[in-house]
Amino acid sequence: MASYQKILLCYDGTLEGRKALRCGADLALELKAETHLLSVVDMRSSIAQSAGLLTDVACGRFEETARAILQEGVDWLTARGVQAQGHFAFGYPIDEIANLAKELGADLVVVGHRCRSGLSRWWMGAGNTQLLDRVSCSILVACASSDEQREELAKEKEAALAAASQA
């Protein structure tokens, strides 16, 4: 196995992001690697969520949320014995991941991936494959299985029902 000395973990708070965080943490501990954690505010989805009207207030909320997700990831890693430096960026995630990997001289980038059906893959595009052409280091893609995705959806529905019943 290659000896990775500098690992960049990409975390967005999703099920796939958490899986990438777990896999990356295990490797970082095993290899005693320098570890970095990146959270990106994807401006394309932020603009879409705000119906094309990205006000300063909306932009601030997206940033607050992303910084909280980054801190959640750093805290999770710290609790498991991994010292990680957090990084935050605005932009297109593939660009920001590639830029930071190059800037840091990362040996390995760890990303999460949601397995999708053929139609969804066609509609949504290639996803992480664009990253392959943008970095000169290894990439570990942590995939959430269909069962994990179903379990996560069930938990989200249960939490929503519990919150609704308390309101």
pLDDT at residue number 53: 55
Tens of pLDDT along 139-151? 999 887 778 777 8
pLDDT at residue number 145: 75
Supply the mean pLDDT for the chain: 82
pLDDT at residue number 2: 65
Model-wide pTM > 0.75: yes
- With bands split at pLDDT 50, 70 and 90, how would you rate the model's confidence at 77? very high
CA gap 133, 59 in Å, rounded: 30
Average pLDDT rounded to a whole number, residues 82-96: 93
Domains of the chain with bracketed CATH: 6-166 (3.40.50.620)
CA gap 2, 37 in Å, rounded: 21
- With bands split at pLDDT 50, 70 and 90, how would you rate the model's confidence at 126? low
Name the token pair of 118.
């053929």
Tens of pLDDT along 130-139? 888 899 999 9
pLDDT at residue number 79: 96
Q: Is the Cα torsion angle 82, 88, 92, 95 positive or negative in sign? A: negative
- With bands split at pLDDT 50, 70 and 90, how would you rate the model's confidence at 153? confident
- With bands split at pLDDT 50, 70 and 90, how would you rate the model's confidence at 48? very low
Q: What is the DSSP string of 47-72?
A: HHHTTT---HHHHHHHHHHHHHHHHH
pLDDT at residue number 117: 52
